Structure 1
Amino acid sequence: MKTGRNAPCPCGSGKKFKHCCASGSHSLNQELKESLSNETFNSFEDVKAAAERLVAQQNQTVRDDFLGLSSDQVYKMLHFPFDTPDVFQFSEQLDIEPSAPILMLMENIISAIDEKGLKATKISGHLPQKVCKEAWNDYCKRQGPDDFLCSLHSVNKELDFIPLHVARITLELAGFLRKTKGRFYLTKKYQKTANKSGLKGLYPLIFKTYCNEFNWSYWDGYNEVPFLQQSFLFTLYLLKQRGNERVLTSVYKDDFLNAFPSVLEEMEEDTYFTPEQSIRRCYQSRVLDRFLVFLGLATFETIKDSKDIGHQYKIKKTPLLEAMIHFNFSPPKTDKTVH
């Protein structure tokens, strides 16, 4: 069946066919004609094999819009992120002690559970008020006295503190926490991993669970746009490439939209923002902040002298990124003048 020009490209890049492989189809056809005309074939199968080799070669050619990745590498990132060890590998046990906001919130939960378990709230089945308040107080101490949210917000229940709620859900999805007869218990899986490896062994499982099983759109008000989560490994590649220096988050948004412009079609236009404005805001909140920063892979720095105070940031990778993932290829050099 012929691929429509507005259909997703079969290479798996996430772009429309007309903006991806179709744009090079004319040159590829010409290259095929020239290559095949200079060879002698004994059968149709030989012709087909030669054509397939040429197409595969094109798919393995690096592309500027993918920042030095090939269509084949991006396809593997999008569809087999944890099953392509020849291209990228995730650590099963870290060689450094991890630090991340999600881990700090999980520690608030874990430390409150003894062998008798922790009684959940009767109606909602959530964490008790005491745990929520203590977690919030610890969070505000880390944020400092000038934090705007801490100065205005108060916490009385789990849903008043959504990051804590997300941490609890992730613990359950990872198989580290269970609720039985109205009480929370730490599982044998948690005990075994924690006793053997501590956070160095727990974090990789938490990371994989957050990427694979937790729905990132759950804690924001934007369209679901599942592609933002599906492409998490491409974002990690961007951080790997640019993260040695603090760079404006707008650079990451530009890179992402240049690589996957068709993602704009997943965002509806509303009264106040265009699809591009909405996807940029969503990418910063859902991916850069609530993935990279929340999992301790990057840090934000607010631009204090910005005209749009509180909404412009620079981002930089942490050592945890290098400890967690290894790309088995050499990323291209980036322009260090980009800030």
Structure 2
Amino acid sequence: MNPNLTLDELSVVIERQIEKQNESAQDDFCGLSPTQMGNWFDASFHQLQGVTINTPEDLSASPVMRYLTLIFDDAMKNDGSFKATAKGNLPAHLVKQASELLSEFAVSQFAGNISISEFAGSNEDKFNALHYTRILAEIAGIIYRRSGRYHIKKAAQAQYQKQGIHGFFKSMLDAAVSQYNWRYFDLFEDDVDLRMYWLFMVWRLQQHACIEQLTDEVITAFPYVLEQLGVISGCSLEKSLDILIESRFISRFLQFWGFVTLDPKQGFSLDREPRTVQLQPLLADTFHFTVNV
């Protein structure tokens, strides 16, 4: 409104307006500002703002961390390594020990036929949660395979002796959200990388525990996600995204870690009927959000 502003002065005004806009709460982001959302998108795991990620004192409810403990204990009894199978998988005795833990986890209330459980199996190929844990441990630089054996890195052995399994919680979680391929276990055809939205989705799910509401919030905040989506036969775009979020984020991330459980008896439907997850104490023990909305 001031015709006497110089270009430099006008640039300062524009910069201040942009900064004000970026710091303002946006309804499409459920009350977050673009600056806060940008941090959750781009910041490294240890530079996230508006959330504190803690290592819970009790990790016994986390399948991933319990399986990692078995891997450590088995290796530490044998000078830091153990023999892999001919296919390069974890040995049968370790798979058996991991399967026997199922009754101790919250997901056991939904356990049906062991042959199709993701938390038990006769070998690693049939035991998705254990296979996932082994992959994360390799990505996180904790274990490696050489000459037909799995080895725990020397630094990791020393850390385990000093801190126990708690010393690896954050590095494993970081590997899960920043490096692991969330499409690994499915055959869906799409270009959606849900890892980009992982912290936003954790925050929202803590508020309402509803998969369909979470999907709608993701679509509202990031409408371009629908352009990346391959439609699942017989489903709408929204339902297709429901399925991806349930499979990749709920079942094979949060549930593998012991953060939530999902009752499979709620069943699959082509309609978008509200489905809820059961939030487990480990979720609140790990993620403490301090965003003001």
TM range (shorter): 0.7 to 0.9
Asked if the contact 1:249–1:313 (Cα under 8 Å) also holds between the matched residues in 2, the reply is yes
Q: CA deviation at 1:206?
A: 1.0
The letter of the residue matching 1:163 is A
The letter of the residue matching 2:166 is K
For these two proteins, the number of residue pairs brought into alignment is 284
- Answer yes or no: is 1:239 the counterpart of 2:200: no
Distance 1:85 1:76, change over 3 A: closer
Q: CA deviation at 1:68?
A: 0.6
Distance 1:155 1:320, change over 3 A: closer
Asked if the contact 1:302–1:314 (Cα under 8 Å) also holds between the matched residues in 2, the reply is no
- Mark the runs of 5 or more structure 1 residues left unpaired by the alignment: 1-36, 333-339
Distance 1:248 1:235, change over 3 A: closer
Distance 1:270 1:200, change over 3 A: closer
Asked if the contact 2:259–2:279 (Cα under 8 Å) also holds between the matched residues in 1, the reply is yes
- Answer yes or no: is 1:148 the counterpart of 2:109: no
The letter of the residue matching 1:294 is F
- Answer yes or no: is 1:295 the counterpart of 2:257: yes
The counterpart of 1:111, out of the listed 45, 49, 73, is 73
Structure 2 residue aligned with 1:195: 161
The counterpart of 2:180, out of the listed 207, 214, 231, is 214
Distance 1:164 1:224, change over 3 A: farther
Return the structure number with greater helix share. Answer: 2
- Answer yes or no: is 1:58 the counterpart of 2:58: no
- Answer yes or no: is 1:268 the counterpart of 2:234: no
Asked if the contact 1:301–1:313 (Cα under 8 Å) also holds between the matched residues in 2, the reply is no
Asked if the contact 1:170–1:209 (Cα under 8 Å) also holds between the matched residues in 2, the reply is yes
Percent identity between matched residues is 25
Q: CA deviation at 1:307?
A: 9.1
Q: TM-score, normalised by structure 2?
A: 0.84
Q: CA deviation at 1:295?
A: 1.8
Q: TM-score, normalised by structure 1?
A: 0.73
- Mark the runs of 5 or more structure 2 residues left unpaired by the alignment: none
Structure 2 residue aligned with 1:97: 58
Distance 1:140 1:160, change over 3 A: farther
Greater mean deviation of Cα atoms: 45-54 or 271-280: 271-280
The letter of the residue matching 2:218 is F
The counterpart of 1:138, out of the listed 92, 101, 104, is 101
User: Residues 275-290 of structure 1: matches in 2 within 5 Å?
Assistant: 275-290=237-252
Q: Aligned Cα RMSD in Å?
A: 2.9
The counterpart of 2:34, out of the listed 47, 71, 74, is 71
